């Protein structure tokens, strides 16, 4: 089983993340930020990566540190669980529709962090959640997971739907990328011999 456990503590947040890349999409995510939990649950469910996340943060300021640091810890867990990346498909993509919204994700588990974020959430808030934190999460995940992560919104006018479509698109793309390619299960998928 390709799994990892990360604990991360700073003056601002205390986070623990457990993942199993070869899971069935079971999740138990409690970050103290309701909408964010809902998104993390989607990420686990649709990537089939088992995910247990606990976070406590400085909510009296806002949710920024908690969301960003959860992205950092999840990225670190992904990097650790992938190990030398032997046998993975490496690339993944998905066009994900959700009612009015359609979001496309293309990603490469390259070890080269890069985020393309072509998404406009039309409201500043979803409930009490600051919509700008969606980008912050994916930036942290890309940086610490070593992911070349392209996320493009093709349609959508409802912020909840657009954000959720983004998480599901990334989840589906991740599912493909972390899966073992049975035609090349013993090799690292790069002509360089390393990722």
d(CA 153, CA 42): 18
CB closer to Mn ion, 108 vs 164: 164
> Residue 39 Cβ, how far from Mn ion at the closest point, in Å?
8
> Residue 28 Cβ, how far from Mn ion at the closest point, in Å?
18
CB closer to Mn ion, 51 vs 177: 51
- Show the CA angle centred on residue 11, arms to residues 6 and 13, nearest 5°: 45
> Residue 114 Cβ, how far from Mn ion at the closest point, in Å?
28
Residue nearest to Mn ion as judged by C-beta position? 164
CB closer to Mn ion, 6 vs 126: 126
CB closer to Mn ion, 69 vs 164: 164
Distances (CA, A) of 47 to 8, 41, 53: 23, 10, 15
> In the β-sheet with 101-108, what is the strand arrangement from edge to edge?
91-98, 101-108, 148-155, 114-118
Distances (CA, A) of 147 to 106, 113, 122, 159, 174: 10, 5, 26, 25, 10
Interface residues with Mn ion (CB under 5 A)? 164
d(CA 52, CA 22): 14
> Residue 128 Cβ, how far from Mn ion at the closest point, in Å?
15
Helix axes 64-82, 34-47, angle to 10 degrees: 20
CB closer to Mn ion, 50 vs 164: 164
> Residue 194 Cβ, how far from Mn ion at the closest point, in Å?
39
């Amino acid at each position: 089983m390709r799994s990892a456990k990360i604990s991360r503590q700073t003056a601002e947040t205390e986070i623990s993340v457990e993942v199993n890349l070869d899971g069935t999409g079971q999740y138990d995510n409690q970050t103290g930020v309701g909408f964010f939990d809902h998104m993390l649950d989607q990420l686990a469910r649709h990537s089939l990566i088992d995910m247990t996340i606990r976070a406590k943060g400085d909510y009296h300021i806002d949710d920024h540190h908690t969301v960003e640091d959860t992205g950092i810890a999840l990225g670190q867990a992904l990097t650790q669980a992938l190990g030398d990346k032997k046998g993975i498909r490496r690339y993944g993509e998905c066009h994900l529709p959700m009612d009015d919204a359609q979001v496309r994700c293309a990603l490469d588990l390259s070890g080269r962090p890069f985020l393309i974020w072509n998404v406009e959430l039309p409201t500043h808030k979803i409930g009490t959640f600051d919509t700008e934190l969606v980008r912050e999460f994916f930036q942290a995940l890309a940086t610490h997971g070593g992911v070349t992560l392209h996320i493009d919104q093709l349609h959508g006018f409802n912020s909840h739907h657009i954000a959720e479509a983004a998480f599901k698109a990334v989840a589906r793309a991740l599912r493909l990328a972390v899966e073992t390619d049975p035609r090349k299960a013993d090799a690292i998928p790069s002509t360089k011999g390393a990722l």
